Amino acid sequence: MDIASRGSLRTRIEGLVILLVSLGYLWETFNIPDFYQLPDTPGPKTFPELLGIVFAAMGLWLLVSPRDLMARLRARSAPAAGTAPAAPAAADDHAAPTGGLFARLGLDWHFVALWAVVLGYLWFMPDVGFPVATFVLLVLFTMLLGEMRWHVVLGLSLAVTAVVFFGFKYGLNVRLPWGVLEPLVN
């Protein structure tokens, strides 16, 4: 698969996703309740409907816009992409893919691990509690960033967790949850 067709394929997929999102959005406008409205003036549905239609049109355009146009656009932006110091993900995107599907999508274990750690933190923090979740996050994330010395990782994570937790909770009155540590403090 050469670079050009990849870019084009991605544009088509983006178009499809945008179209689907806009259809879902438009579908949801049916669930907006009707309240009294001065006759002939836009109600709560008008604006979302308008937005949904414009968004759908944009998706449709990406999906079916003529191929030669895409090629021209690519030709114009290709030199720019070549000279810029490419970020790894961006580089993956433009380089010819090697390996399996995983790599072709620009994914590798590091990328997946990063997002898993970040999203996991956001998901579990309210229940697990701030101190434990934050400590785990800091340990994992620091290691993903290449710091492998255990004493540094643990020491730093503990220190940052403690300073941030107590600083925000008692200094700035942010209600941070103790979570699983609750039984210990009460």
In the range 51-110, which residues lie near another protein by CB under 8 A?
51-52, 54-55, 58, 61-62, 73, 77, 85-91, 93, 110
At closest approach, how far in Å is the CB of 46 from another protein?
Answer: 8
Measured CA to CA, the distance from residue 29 to residue 31 in angstroms comes to 5
Measured CA to CA, the distance from residue 146 to residue 139 in angstroms comes to 11
Structure-block tokens of residue 138: 């800091």
- The shares of helix, strand and coil residues in the chain, as percent rounded to the nearest 5, are 75, 0, 25
- The single residue among 5, 9, 37, 72 that binds another protein, judged by CB under 8 A, is 37
At closest approach, how far in Å is the CB of 100 from another protein?
Answer: 19
- Answer yes or no whether residue 155 interacts with another protein by CB under 8 A: no
Contact pattern for another protein over residues 11 through 30, marking x by CB under 8 A:
---x---x------x--xx-
User: Across the chain, where does the E strand assignment appear?
Assistant: none
Q: Which of 141, 15, 125 is nearest to 66 (CA)?
A: 15
Nearer CB in complex with another protein: 38/101: 38
At closest approach, how far in Å is the CB of 68 from another protein?
Answer: 16
- Answer yes or no whether residue 32 interacts with another protein by CB under 8 A: yes
Nearer CB in complex with another protein: 61/96: 61
Measured CA to CA, the distance from residue 44 to residue 21 in angstroms comes to 20
Contacts of 178 (CB under 8 A, 6+ apart): 129, 130, 131, 184, 185
- Answer yes or no whether residue 40 interacts with another protein by CB under 8 A: yes
- Answer yes or no whether residue 126 interacts with another protein by CB under 8 A: yes
